[in-house]
């Protein structure tokens, strides 16, 4: 539970807000490269953290991200003509280059050089991992690009898309590192193997290689023990489930500051999924979705499969709006819900979107009742917000190094080595039951929101698990 003012702090991304200023210290994906496919092509209106901007690719192929409105008398530059290294306002002909310089002002006398006095808002831009990134923070404090592995591998090894979502970006990101919800949001209520396989066929793309045992363990243990490992670049969040034997099945998600998360789904050798959550306004967001394999190019079959949705990747229309979305109730099938799945909604990504959107345009965290499986969420919030704020720009060095090393992973470790964590989980669950559902976690588990920069958690080791690293 958060105080209402903390919830506002966490979820507001506009210029001048605390979180908005933090986010502006980092490079942010603002478009897919594929959305500006050609030099002098169509410009694109974009809204990023409440700012109305225009993106265009000039005659050299360089992308500019500038104010959407002409500084002369406010005409929308989206109407403009993208010509000879600049976009020309079609009202009176002022023209701007990708750096925001006014390079032509036909309404003024040339010898006055009035154009030299005019500059439009523009942000530094990079293309990285098939996405267009903008830096919207203070000039002169531009950080390094995040060394996300998906951008470091050859283009043939990755697939990149995006999806629209009708809710605040923070609750979508919380969902991405909440490994406990899989049991209900994504699975069948039948636990027999054939039913699980059937659900796998219906709800997970058949090319996904999710092991049947993994599905069963997720189905049979809705109460994963959560372990948290904070690091310079964010958080590692591990959810351990009992396997019926001596092992715990760990699903491990990564939160990477400030807006990136890796899904806890990949075993060694498998494709890895990630997402970047970018606020449009405070009540909707673009989620950049990607899959990559560090060891080999993706196959055409994999790409075709991703085009129709898989894991965190949605099946989207030409505007990147998911085909099953809030406006059509995610095409929920109530009959299927009676007979097979809890949600009755097709697609892991769409199931996620449905429950996250349903929390409201901005989830009211002052009314929630967190429990033991929400430990990752508890740690994410301060890490995402106050904990990072004072050091955002200075963090770029460690951030880069840590991002390079971290990936999602899964593994199994012996259960007996987690006895204490399991006992703690059961204690908390009993406490929750006694209190009628909600449970107040102790100070150690719940760093104070405002004091997050000082919050320290034990560096929890997960035996049997080795986070794979990328060679330097
Ligand atoms: S409003 Fe753009 S040139 Fe006049
Ligand atoms: Fe999910």
> Angle of helix 4-11 relative to helix 169-177, nearest 10 degrees?
90
- Backbone φ and ψ for 445, nearest 5 degrees, come out as -85, -15
Q: Is residue 386 part of a domain?
A: yes
Res 180 pLDDT > 80 = yes
CA of 261 to the centre of ligand 2 (A): 12
In the structure, what pLDDT confidence band is assigned to residue 450 with cuts at 50, 70 and 90?
Answer: very low
Res 191 pLDDT > 80 = no
119-128 pLDDT, tens digit per residue, is 999 999 999 9
- Candidate of 91, 96, 106, 120 to mutate for ligand 1, largest count of ligand atoms within 8 Å of Cβ: 91
- Candidate of 77, 89, 102, 108 to mutate for ligand 1, largest count of ligand atoms within 8 Å of Cβ: 89
CA dihedral 365, 366, 367, 368 (to 10 degrees): 50
Q: Is residue 456 part of a domain?
A: no
pLDDT of residue 460: 37
Answer yes or no: do 167 and 40 share one domain: no
Among the three residues 396, 416, 436, which one is the final residue of a domain in this structure?
416
Q: Is residue 269 part of a domain?
A: yes
Residues lining ligand 1, CB < 6 A?
A: 70, 72-73, 75, 89, 91-94
Q: Is residue 302 part of a domain?
A: yes
Answer yes or no: do 313 and 177 share one domain: yes
What ligand is nearest to the CA atom of residue 264?
2
State mean pLDDT over 50-62. Answer: 98
Q: Any idea what the CATH number is for the domain that residue 285 is in?
A: 3.90.380.10
d(CA 278, CA 261): 12
- Average pLDDT taken over every residue of the chain: 81
Answer yes or no: do 199 and 52 share one domain: no
Answer yes or no: do 114 and 162 share one domain: no
Res 467 pLDDT > 80 = no
Here the contacts of 38-46 (C-beta below 8 Å, separation 24 or greater) are 40/82, 40/83, 41/82, 42/82, 43/77, 43/78, 43/80, 43/82, 43/87, 44/78, 45/76, 45/78
Ligand 1 atom at minimum distance from 73 CA: 1
| Neighbour count for residue 43 (Cβ, 10 Å) | 21
212 vs 363 pLDDT, higher one: 363
Listed residue (283, 294, 287, 333) closest to 312, CA to CA: 287
Q: Any idea what the CATH number is for the domain that residue 87 is in?
A: 2.102.10.10
Q: Is residue 67 part of a domain?
A: yes
d(CA 175, CA 74): 40
Say what the pTM is: 0.84
pLDDT of residue 414: 57
Res 388 pLDDT > 60 = no
Q: Is residue 441 part of a domain?
A: no
CA of 313 to the centre of ligand 2 (A): 11
Answer yes or no: do 356 and 243 share one domain: yes
State mean pLDDT over 16-33. Answer: 94
What ligand is nearest to the CA atom of residue 107?
1
Distance of CA 24 to the CA centre of its chain: 16
Indicate the range of 134-138, 224-228, 328-332, 385-389 predicted with least confidence. Answer: 385-389
80-105 pLDDT, tens digit per residue, is 999 999 999 999 999 999 999 999 99
pLDDT of residue 435: 44
Instruction: Return all residues near 469 (Cβ < 8 A) that are at least 6 apart.
Output: 405, 407
Among the three residues 94, 117, 142, which one is the final residue of a domain in this structure?
142
Structure-token pair, residue 144 = 């390094």
Listed residue (454, 342, 328) closest to 388, CA to CA: 454
Answer yes or no: do 90 and 186 share one domain: no
Instruction: Return all residues near 109 (Cβ < 8 A) that are at least 6 apart.
Output: none
Domain span holding position 31 = 27-142
CA of 92 to the centre of ligand 2 (A): 50
Ligand 1 atom at minimum distance from 107 CA: 3
Indicate the range of 83-97, 270-284, 298-312, 401-415 predicted with least confidence. Answer: 401-415
| Neighbour count for residue 321 (Cβ, 10 Å) | 15
Which range of 4-13, 264-273, 289-298, 337-346 scores highest in mean pLDDT? It is 289-298
Answer yes or no: do 135 and 238 share one domain: no
Answer yes or no: do 230 and 364 share one domain: yes
pLDDT of residue 406: 44
Answer yes or no: do 265 and 361 share one domain: yes
- Candidate of 75, 78, 115 to mutate for ligand 1, largest count of ligand atoms within 8 Å of Cβ: 75
Answer yes or no: do 125 and 197 share one domain: no
In the structure, what pLDDT confidence band is assigned to residue 206 with cuts at 50, 70 and 90?
Answer: very low
For ligand 1, atom 4, the nearest C-alpha belongs to 92
How many domains, the chain? 2
Among the three residues 416, 432, 462, which one is the final residue of a domain in this structure?
416
pLDDT of residue 463: 39
Res 321 pLDDT > 70 = yes
Percent of the chain surpassing pLDDT 70? 76
Res 343 pLDDT > 60 = yes
What ligand is nearest to the CA atom of residue 173?
2
Q: Is residue 455 part of a domain?
A: no
Answer yes or no: do 247 and 125 share one domain: no
Indicate the range of 49-58, 85-94, 286-295, 450-459 predicted with least confidence. Answer: 450-459
Percent of the chain surpassing pLDDT 90? 53
For ligand 1, atom 1, the nearest C-alpha belongs to 73
pLDDT of residue 417: 56
Res 352 pLDDT > 70 = yes
pLDDT of residue 387: 44
pLDDT of residue 381: 82
SS3 letters for the chain? CCCHHHHHHHHCCCCCCHHHHHHCCCEEEEEEHHHCCCCCCCCEEEEECCEEEEEEECCCCCEEEEECECCCCCCEHHHCEECCCCEECCCCCCEECCCCEEEECCCCCHHHCHHHHCECCEECEEEECCEEEEECCCCCCCCCCCCCHHHHCCHHHEEEEEEEECCCHHHHHHHHHCHHHHHHHCCECCCCHHHHHHHHHHHCCCCCCCCHHHHHHHHHCCCCEEEEEEECCEEEEEEEEECCCCEEEEEEEEEECCCEEECCCCCCCCCEEEEEEEEEECCEEEEEEEEECCCCCCCHHHHHHHHCCECCECCECCCCCECCCHHHHHHCCHHHHHHCECCCCCCHHHHHHHHHHHCCCCCCHHHCCCCHHHHHHHHHHHHHCCCCHHHCCCCHHHHHHHHHHCCCEEEEEEHHHHHHHHHHHHHHHHHHHHCCCCCCCCCCCCCCCCCHHHCCCCCCCCCCCCCCCCCC
Using CA atoms, how far residue 117 sits from 20, 80, 105, 108, in Å, is 29, 21, 11, 12
State mean pLDDT over 22-47. Answer: 97
Res 251 pLDDT > 90 = no
Q: Is residue 258 part of a domain?
A: yes
State mean pLDDT over 362-384. Answer: 87
What ligand is nearest to the CA atom of residue 90?
1
Answer yes or no: do 79 and 194 share one domain: no
């Amino acid at each position: 539970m958060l105080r209402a003012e903390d919830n506002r702090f966490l979820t507001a991304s506009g210029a001048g807000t605390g979180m908005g200023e933090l986010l502006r210290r980092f490079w942010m994906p603002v478009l897919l490269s594929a959305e500006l496919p050609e030099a002098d092509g169509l410009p694109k209106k974009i809204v990023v953290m409440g700012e109305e901007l225009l993106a265009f690719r000039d005659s050299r192929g360089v992308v500019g991200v500038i104010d959407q409105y002409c500084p002369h008398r406010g005409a929308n530059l989206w109407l403009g003509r993208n010509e000879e290294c600049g976009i020309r306002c079609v009202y009176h002909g002022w023209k701007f280059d990708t750096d925001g310089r006014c390079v032509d002002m036909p309404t003024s006398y040339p010898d006055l050089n009035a154009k030299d006095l005019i500059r439009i808002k523009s942000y530094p831009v990079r293309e990285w991992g098939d996405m267009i990134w903008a830096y919207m923070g203070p000039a002169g404090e531009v950080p390094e690009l995040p060394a996300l592995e998906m951008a470091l591998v050859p283009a043939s090894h990755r697939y990149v898309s995006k999806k629209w979502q009708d809710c605040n970006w923070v609750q979508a990101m919380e969902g991405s590192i909440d490994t406990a919800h899989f049991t209900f949001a994504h699975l069948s209520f039948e636990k027999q193997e054939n039913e699980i396989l059937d659900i796998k066929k219906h709800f997970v793309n058949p090319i996904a290689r999710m092991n049947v045992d993994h599905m069963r363990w997720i189905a049979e243990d809705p109460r994963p023990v959560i372990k948290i490992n904070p690091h310079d670049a964010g958080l590692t969040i591990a959810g351990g489930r009992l396997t019926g034997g001596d092992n715990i099945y760990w699903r491990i998600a990564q939160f990477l500051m400030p807006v990136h998360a890796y899904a806890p789904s990949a075993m060694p050798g498998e494709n890895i999924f990630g997402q970047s959550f970018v606020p449009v306004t405070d009540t909707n967001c673009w989620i950049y979705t990607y899959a990559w394999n560090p060891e080999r190019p993706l196959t055409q079959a994999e790409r075709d499969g991703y085009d129709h949705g898989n894991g965190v990747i949605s099946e989207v229309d030409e505007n990147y709006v998911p085909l099953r979305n809030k406006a059509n109730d995610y095409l929920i099938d109530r009959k299927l819900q009676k007979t097979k799945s809890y949600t009755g909604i097709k697609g892991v990504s769409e199931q996620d979107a449905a429950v996250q959107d349903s929390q409201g345009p901005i989830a009211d965290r002052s009314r929630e009742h967190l429990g033991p499986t929400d430990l990752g969420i508890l740690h994410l919030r301060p890490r995402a917000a106050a904990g990072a704020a004072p050091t955002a720009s200075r963090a770029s060095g460690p951030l880069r190094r840590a991002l390079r090393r971290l990936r999602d992973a899964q593994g199994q470790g012996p259960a007996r080595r987690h006895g204490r964590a399991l006992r703690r989980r059961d204690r908390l669950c009993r406490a929750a039951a006694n209190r009628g559902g909600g449970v107040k976690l102790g100070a150690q588990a719940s760093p104070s929101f405002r004091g997050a920069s000082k919050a320290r958690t034990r560096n929890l080791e997960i035996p049997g698990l080795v986070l794979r690293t990328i060679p330097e």
